[in-house]
Chains A and B, each alone.
Chain A
Amino acid sequence: MATYSTNEFKSGLKVLLDGEPCAIVENEFVKPGKGQAFNRVKLKNLKTARTWERTFKSGESIEAADVMDIEMEYLYSDGEFWHFMKTDGSFEQIAADKAAVGDTIDWLKEQEAFEVTLFNGAPIVVTPPNHIELEVVETDPGVKGDTATGGSKPAKLSSGAVVKVPLFINEGEVIRVDTRSRDYLSRAKS
């Protein structure tokens, strides 16, 4: 089993802590002038996104986690699982459960590429692209010519997400959205 010593710690490193896959977020070196050195480490549990803080004696090792982020295309859902396919030409498919899909369920769009995080080969997290183009399926009628007042209204997108859009947007239009902030960015260029 691969291990990492404290002197290899850096943010982004994927490690196994209490059997859970974690990513190091922050690593601080602490050492009294005449004393033992320590590493104070902030870790994010990749499954739950919860942050942990741990202290290690410098020189200690922890196990590496077999974690991989791969690009996969969303295919369909059978109600229980969400199916994705590798984009490397292998056509290999993977089924992610509800826990792995999480909030990304709001952004799922067929043939769009998502980042799937695999832990020991099984999907644990599905991350949407930062920007995605989706069709508006439900919103109040657009106010013509109103492009300057900065008002907004809720709009339901084809993936199910509800976001705030400017007043001039109509049903049937395709818009660009930031999936992290849920902000409307622009009309899609068609």
Chain B
Amino acid sequence: MHKAADAAFFFDYFREITLSESWKPNASIDSLIERAKVVRSIRQFFEHKNVLEVETPILSRASGTDVQLSQWQTSNGYFMHTSPEFAMKRLLAAGSGDIFQMARVFRLDECGRRHNPEFTMLEWYRLGFDEFQLMDEVAELVRGLASQPELPVVQLSYKQAFSRFALPCPHTAAVDELRRTCNQQLNCDAADWTRDDCLDALMSMVVEPGLPPEQLTFVYDYPRQQAALARFREVDGCTVARRFELYWQGMELANGYYELSDITEQKRRFEEEAHLRAAMGVQKPVIDHNFLAALEHGLPDCAGVALGVDRLVMVLLGQADIGGVMAFTQDRS
């Protein structure tokens, strides 16, 4: 009796699976063919420029430090990378010259129309470039992939981007003014938001959707506290980060830096992030000493950028949902 009931249950269970659509790919086969073409063209682009393709570990004994990224950890304690940045910088320090990588990266809890917890990142580093030279190369790549050599390119400083939307100065405005602006523009309760919460909210929900869609917009000179791994510079008496982001069709596509190579400043930022994580009650980071040793040895002067391949294909194919360009999203994994 019991056995029969079990059998009936399994029969229903398997019939449900077979009848459901979840075994099928999210993207159409045609979209996957187009995606493969884009990936091939990216490889050709770098081959023509003599940029070496490399592969680095997905699993690392050290964690990232970024307070806004949550990492997966394997049962034996390895961290799954959120970007291949540290390992690629070790190669640069070891004399690799210009390098690129297309890697699956993993970010816990990021799910939505434009997010899948694992996605494909194109990351590359150019020796002797600063952020402006690298922005030009990013534009060259995207124009080529879009077959639109005349696609307009606009560069705006973070401050200019904010002032274009009549938002307060991101560098000098008091945090209360930024909170008020968030409350007015976004219907939220920003009373206990930090300065960066406010800036991120205004950037991603006012500026980003408002930029002209039919042009490549590079935003550069980020607020200093959002430097991540970029160098600083002084502009009009303000310290800003030599970091840039690319926006196209209302979508954030790439994030680049004129790379920080100063070991003392790097250690200071790691400590700052560790304190911030402790204050936020987030897991303590495991510092990557191999990365620090590589910086100590010497990172050549370079600029680097990470570009979301899935999102780029979304724009190229006119897909509004990231599933439209992926074989299987996480809920069908």
Contact = CB atoms under 8 A, between A and B. Distances in A.
B314 interface: no
A48 interface: no
B68 interface: yes
Contacts of B110: 29, 31, 37
Contacts of A54: 187-188
A33 interface: yes
B200 A40 contact: no
B259 to A, nearest CB: 15
A34 to B, nearest CB: 6
A36 interface: yes
- Please classify the interface of chain B as helix (H, G, I), strand (E, B), loop, or mixed, using the class held by over half of its residues: mixed
Contacts of B201: 36, 38, 55
Mostly, the A contact residues are strand
Given A54-B188, A55-B187, A35 B109 contact: no
Interface in B142-164: none
Nearest to B229: A34
Size range of the chain B interface in the assembly = 20 to 34
A34 B112 CA distance: 16
Interface in A8-35: 28-35
Contacts of A38: 200-201, 204-205
Contacts of B66: 34
Which of B115, B200, B252 is the most central at the interface, judged by chain A CB atoms within 10 Å of its CB? B200
A57 B197 contact: yes
Given A28-B112, A29-B111, A55-B201, A36 B187 contact: no
A56 B189 CA distance: 8
Nearest to B199: A35
A53 to B, nearest CB: 6
A7 interface: yes
26 contacts: A29-B111, A29-B114, A30-B205, A31-B68, A31-B115, A32-B204, A32-B252, A33-B255, A33-B306, A33-B308, A34-B228, A35-B68, A35-B196, A35-B203, A35-B226, A36-B197, A36-B200, A36-B201, A37-B68, A37-B109, A38-B204, A40-B205, A55-B182, A55-B205, A57-B188, A58-B109
Interface of A: 7, 28-38, 40, 52-58
Instruction: Please provide the 8 A-B residue pairs with the shortest distance between their CB atoms, ordered closest to farther.
Output: A29-B112, A35-B200, A55-B188, A55-B186, A36-B200, A32-B204, A36-B197, A54-B187
Given A29-B110, A37-B109, A38-B201, 8 more contacts: A30-B204, A33-B245, A35-B196, A35-B203, A35-B204, A55-B182, A55-B187, A58-B109
